[in-house]
Amino acid sequence: MKTTIRGLIIVTGSLLAACNNNVNMTTTLNSDGSLNRVSTAAVDEKFIQGDTADHPFIMDLTGWDIQWKYKGEEIRTDWPVTGWKKDPQDSMEVITAIARKHYNTVQHLADSFQIKSSHAWRDITMKPALEKRFRFFYTYYNFKESFSKLPITFAIPVTRYLSAEEAGYWLTGKPDILKGMNGVEANDILNSIEEKAGKWLLHNLFEMQYSELIRHLELIANHPSKTIMEAQKDSVFALYYARHAKELTKSDLMPILDKSFNTQAFGNFAKSGNDSLVQQIIEPEAFERLSTYFNASIDYKLVMPGDIVESDGILSNDTLTWKIDTYRLLNANYTIAASSKKTNRWAFLATAFIVLGAMILYAVKRK
């Protein structure tokens, strides 16, 4: 039976089922090269009262203009509001805070915007860039913003299981390897990639657990030698994976180790009462560190001057949208990009006047 991402969610529990703090962020590029950035997030009463110690925004709020709205009210600018409280009858109503900031240039944005130190994504950098080209009748804008790869090195690289194109599509949607396929063909390809991607992530979880186990091996009575365990690691993983693929449940490492090395040492260790150490092996620090990145995501929106010429974002009216999440940052930097063309109306008017003047002058000379 194939391993699926849905099965992997069961295995990695807190990794992929973590509480997600989603932030909406809209960047508006103005025709003069300046930018406005607006971010919205659900907040609690304490935030409205001015307590920003644990606010949900991805950035520090120094220098940002804060507004907010509650229920069907108009956007309010009176923030903070000391002593404000929700109506007890409206416990399910959401308070939305809106943070706004203006940047004179893209370089100003690049130099001053950074993710706050208390955020799960504090190690990730965002680097915007703009190329503006004037062509008399039109002005062209090429904007991009790069999000850095997670500062995590996987023991098992994704190329062990997926090609670069498969990994790129599965994690980021680029390149579009399904172009030209019908639904049947695409389904076959996706099922194959899903199985291999699931095995890749499961293999890395196993590597984290096994490394932690080796690190504490001396605390396990009657354990096999470290040399033997290292030599047989691949065969242990094969059994670990087979158990998961069969049951699609959280694989219990200790019985698998006992079976692999024909011993009861690991099962006895699991029953020894040292639950904290067993838990440290089953969910090691590297696993916990990785899981924190899944606690956040950004719905990123971009508004460009003029008409969109090219982009890999989803276009609705005049707004482009991307989802920035941990999957897109697992294996490489992720860049969003868009190009637009703005008509220089004055150039057309000036040309029309010149042509009209030339026609009038020609007509006068003909008389």
Q: For 297-350, how does the pLDDT look when each residue is reduced to its tens digit (9 = 90+)?
A: 999 999 999 999 999 999 999 999 999 999 999 999 999 999 999 987 766 677
User: Does residue 13 carry a pLDDT above 70?
Assistant: no
Distances (CA, A) of 57 to 40, 42, 43, 62, 119: 8, 9, 9, 12, 9
User: Cβ–Cβ contacts within 10 Å for residue 309, how many?
Assistant: 14
Q: Would you state the pLDDT for residue 249? A: 55
What six digits make up the tokens of 352?
């029309």
CB–CB of 309/341 below 8 Å? Answer: yes
By three-state DSSP, how is residue 35 classified? strand
| Distance of alpha carbon 19 from alpha carbon 217, whole angstroms | 33
Q: Of 129-138, 248-257, 300-309, where does mean pLDDT reach its minimum?
A: 248-257
Q: Of 19-23, 54-58, 113-117, where does mean pLDDT reach its minimum?
A: 19-23
Q: Would you state the pLDDT for residue 93? A: 83
Rounded to two decimals, the pTM is: 0.84
Q: What is the mean pLDDT of the chain?
A: 88
How many alpha carbons fall within 13 Å on the CB side of residue 63? 10
Q: Where are the alpha helices (DSSP H) in 19-94?
A: 45-48
Among residues 36, 86, 20, 43, the alpha carbon closest in space to that of 301 is found at 36
Q: For 263-304, how does the pLDDT look when each residue is reduced to its tens digit (9 = 90+)?
A: 999 999 988 888 888 888 888 888 888 888 888 899 999 999
CB–CB of 130/141 below 8 Å? Answer: yes
Q: Would you state the pLDDT for residue 362? A: 63
Confidence of residue 243 (pLDDT cuts 50, 70, 90): confident
Confidence of residue 247 (pLDDT cuts 50, 70, 90): low
CB–CB of 298/23 below 8 Å? Answer: yes
Q: Would you state the pLDDT for residue 124? A: 94
In this prediction, what percent of the chain has a pLDDT beyond 70? 89
Give, for 280, the enclosing helix (H) or strand (E). Answer: helix 275-282
By three-state DSSP, how is residue 350 classified? helix
User: Cβ–Cβ contacts within 10 Å for residue 262, how many?
Assistant: 7
Rg (alpha carbons) of the chain, rounded to whole number = 28
By three-state DSSP, how is residue 197 classified? helix
Burial class, 231, CB count within 10 angstroms (exposed 0-12 / middle 13-18 / buried 19+): exposed
In this prediction, what percent of the chain has a pLDDT beyond 90? 66
DSSP character string of 14-28: TTTSSPPEEEEEEEE
Q: Would you state the pLDDT for residue 346? A: 65
CB–CB of 314/40 below 8 Å? Answer: no
